[in-house]
Chain A
């Protein structure tokens, strides 16, 4: 097979996975609408919108790390750190009883502080990975535990309450018919898409995932790109944390532990290659909505949440398995067991000449 053919196959399979997702979305929609009369209603879609945003943002965070061939397991802990910082500040300054204008100013300021704190955790991840050369799985596994532990120490393991209405509105209000969290998710998705597809850093980020050695030999500063990746990932997780705190009217060190599996399922279902390099923001956002629709459908039909957990695991392995079989079918026995790719095959298009 020539390089050209390999590239064409890959291009097609990237778009095929989007088409497959769209078909899946329609199928889920039709099945549950037929089974339950309350499914295809504005209210149900609104409630899905409120729920999908936080996990959608976390998925985008995992996606960025996976683009570089790494992974970020600390997303939940980072989100909770951001949520707890914001909530503690709002609580300790009695923002809930302040004048409306003052409460608004405090809310905006403390959200910034929370997001900043969460993003700083991303710097920690980045330092561990780039300076100390710890592999991303272990580095983020460690920070997952460390940050969670620090959050437990700070809160004493209890939920933090007492936020002003202005803050809570982020999680429960709608503009027009569209829930605010969905607007945040879409804004973040567009921002991420522009970052990944239209900036030099974004292109390098994917190049590193596709082939780190080639990236370095092309004169790229891998460490700088990786640092930016994990900081951006923590920023998205922090946004998720703010929405979680606003929606549940509390911040908790142990909130949303099950989101880690869900976020990785979404990213993989969205067509991102866990080995790095390939995937689209559109696919990930679409996958987040599909899984939310399945979850909501399970709810309306009356299935237990445990069956949804089974479904998540089955979807993850099923999708990856199908992809692996398809890959094996299209390119004769590429050594997928090894992360290395064969030398004759250019992994991605040439890096851009311009500097960011």
Chain B
């Protein structure tokens, strides 16, 4: 309520900025596009759009799960492990037993169920035992990755079951002679449709459902949420179960897209996704964040990566660039929010 009224009372410029700095991100993306476009005119092509969309696809779905967790005041570093576990396990299962081999959607269903199960591990430790989220998800990351490599397999699998194989070459749009990485063909996978659908669903969930409002409430202040009547433990279980499901689906998308099931992938690249969510205006202290901001954050990171390639910067610079971008993003956020300290001060002063 107070957020709504404060948005309305703001001057027009601030309203344009958006509740989570979405306006700033749009401006940043536009400026980056113009700058890169001036240096290399081939940037302005359908190929770039397709390239950035293709590269954002899986991170978009991962980011939705991370966003939910971060809004609730937690942090998740296990999503990449869950994703690759689910994706790789489905390929192994389909190749060994033939179950779900003809139809790709069965594979995605299994991946979602695996993700749900692994997400429940997090839910049990966080909601049940009330342990710190970073430490729990670090632990489950180790368990899940170790279990994948030890029990499921540690080899790269090039053979795909027919259903997923077909899906991996099912393109929505194809652009000839695209800009990215010289000549060649840029394609956009049909998987962009479910990815966008998931973003819309998460947005609706966060905005219009009791659970969604509860996620914001818990992130704002768990004790107040409890006293207001939100079932805190129940909502936390939903949060981590849902984050698991989304990670499972995203992992399956990744495995489908790259057409080479490699169990060593994804884990270690978590920061790209967390950075995107934080850049998108979600607060690490909880209670703040939006789907639109997160989508822009994911797009910004993908755009920067492909621009670096386009400008001829060696790919070894990408990691440092994302790190720097994250630090700039959180600095801007910390400065505009005044930091956590002010909040503590207010509390302390009201105390007798």
Chain A residues within CB distance 8 Å of chain B: 71, 128, 132-135, 137-139, 141-150, 152-153, 156-157, 212-213, 217, 257, 260-261, 264-265, 268, 274-275, 304, 306-314, 316-317, 320-321, 324-325, 335-338, 343
Query: For A264, what are the chain B residues with a Cβ–Cβ distance below 8 Å?
Result: 135, 138
Query: For B144, what are the chain A residues with a Cβ–Cβ distance below 8 Å?
Result: 313
Query: For A325, what are the chain B residues with a Cβ–Cβ distance below 8 Å?
Result: 129
List 19 additional A-B contacts (Cβ < 8 Å) besides A139-B330, A313-B142, A325-B129: A71-B134, A128-B331, A132-B335, A133-B340, A134-B327, A138-B330, A146-B320, A146-B323, A152-B320, A153-B316, A157-B316, A304-B150, A306-B147, A309-B143, A309-B145, A313-B146, A317-B140, A324-B129, A337-B130
B318 close to A274 (CB less than 8 A): no
Query: For B221, what are the chain A residues with a Cβ–Cβ distance below 8 Å?
Result: 338
B1 within 8 A of A: no
6 nearest interchain CB pairs? A149-B320, A133-B339, A145-B323, A313-B142, A146-B323, A309-B146
| Cβ proximity bits B201-219 to A, threshold 8 Å, 1 near / 0 not | 0000000000000000000
Say which residue of A135, A150, A311 sits within 8 Å of B284 (CB atoms): A135
Query: For B222, what are the chain A residues with a Cβ–Cβ distance below 8 Å?
Result: 337-338
B339 close to A145 (CB less than 8 A): no
Closest to B223 in A: A338
Q: How far is the CB of A220 from chain B (nearest CB, A)?
A: 14
Query: For A217, what are the chain B residues with a Cβ–Cβ distance below 8 Å?
Result: 348
A313 close to B143 (CB less than 8 A): yes
B139 close to A314 (CB less than 8 A): yes
B317 within 8 A of A: yes
B142 close to A309 (CB less than 8 A): yes
Q: Known contacts being A137-B284, A157-B316, is A142 close to B146, with CB within 8 Å? A: no
A306 close to B324 (CB less than 8 A): no
Q: How far is the CB of A100 from chain B (nearest CB, A)?
A: 36
Query: Which B residues between 127 and 163 are near A, CB-CB below 8 angstroms?
Result: 129-132, 134-136, 138-147, 149-150, 154
Inter-chain CA distance A213–B349, complex, in Å, is 11
B143 close to A314 (CB less than 8 A): yes
Residue of B223, B314, B330 ringed by the most chain A CB atoms within 10 A: B330
A142 close to B139 (CB less than 8 A): no
B132 close to A274 (CB less than 8 A): yes
Query: For A313, what are the chain B residues with a Cβ–Cβ distance below 8 Å?
Result: 138-144, 146
Q: Known contacts being A257-B268, A310-B150, is A152 close to B138, with CB within 8 Å? A: no
Inter-chain CA distance A314–B147, complex, in Å, is 11
B274 within 8 A of A: yes
Closest to B333 in A: A134
Q: Known contacts being A133-B339, A313-B141, is A306 close to B146, with CB within 8 Å? A: yes
Say which residue of B130, B232, B326, B339 sits within 8 Å of A141 (CB atoms): B326
Inter-chain CA distance A274–B75, complex, in Å, is 15
Query: For B318, what are the chain A residues with a Cβ–Cβ distance below 8 Å?
Result: 149
8 sample A-B contacts, Cβ–Cβ < 8 Å, listed by A number: A132-B335, A261-B139, A268-B135, A306-B147, A310-B147, A311-B146, A320-B129, A338-B223
Query: Which B residues between 309 and 341 are near A, CB-CB below 8 angstroms?
Result: 314, 316-324, 326-327, 330-331, 334-335, 338-341
Query: For A307, what are the chain B residues with a Cβ–Cβ distance below 8 Å?
Result: 146, 150
Inter-chain CA distance A149–B222, complex, in Å, is 37
Inter-chain CA distance A338–B218, complex, in Å, is 11
B146 close to A145 (CB less than 8 A): no
Q: How far is the CB of B70 from chain A (nearest CB, A)?
A: 11
Inter-chain CA distance A325–B223, complex, in Å, is 20
Q: Known contacts being A213-B348, A321-B129, A343-B351, is A145 close to B320, with CB within 8 Å? A: yes
Inter-chain CA distance A130–B120, complex, in Å, is 36
A148 close to B316 (CB less than 8 A): no
Inter-chain CA distance A325–B130, complex, in Å, is 9
B125 within 8 A of A: yes
Inter-chain CA distance A351–B169, complex, in Å, is 66
Q: Known contacts being A321-B129, A325-B129, A343-B351, is A145 close to B135, with CB within 8 Å? A: no
Closest to A304 in B: B150
Q: How far is the CB of B314 from chain A (nearest CB, A)?
A: 8
Q: How far is the CB of A37 from chain B (nearest CB, A)?
A: 26
B261 within 8 A of A: no
B278 within 8 A of A: yes
Q: How far is the CB of A70 from chain B (nearest CB, A)?
A: 11
Query: For A316, what are the chain B residues with a Cβ–Cβ distance below 8 Å?
Result: 135, 138-139, 142
Closest to A66 in B: B135
B271 close to A310 (CB less than 8 A): no
Q: How far is the CB of A145 from chain B (nearest CB, A)?
A: 3
Say which residue of B132, B145, B268, B285 sits within 8 Å of A135 (CB atoms): B285
Query: For B39, what are the chain A residues with a Cβ–Cβ distance below 8 Å?
Result: none
Inter-chain CA distance A312–B150, complex, in Å, is 14
Q: How far is the CB of A130 from chain B (nearest CB, A)?
A: 10
Inter-chain CA distance A139–B163, complex, in Å, is 43
B183 within 8 A of A: no
Query: For B193, what are the chain A residues with a Cβ–Cβ distance below 8 Å?
Result: none
Inter-chain CA distance A275–B320, complex, in Å, is 30
Query: For A150, what are the chain B residues with a Cβ–Cβ distance below 8 Å?
Result: 320
Say which residue of B275, B321, B330 sits within 8 Å of A149 (CB atoms): B321
Query: For B338, what are the chain A residues with a Cβ–Cβ distance below 8 Å?
Result: 133
Query: For B135, what are the chain A residues with a Cβ–Cβ distance below 8 Å?
Result: 264, 268, 274, 316, 320
Residue of B222, B319, B322, B331 ringed by the most chain A CB atoms within 10 A: B319
Q: Known contacts being A133-B341, A135-B340, is A145 close to B138, with CB within 8 Å? A: no
B344 close to A146 (CB less than 8 A): no
Q: Known contacts being A132-B335, A313-B142, A337-B130, is A146 close to B327, with CB within 8 Å? A: yes
A149 close to B323 (CB less than 8 A): yes
Q: How far is the CB of B87 from chain A (nearest CB, A)?
A: 18
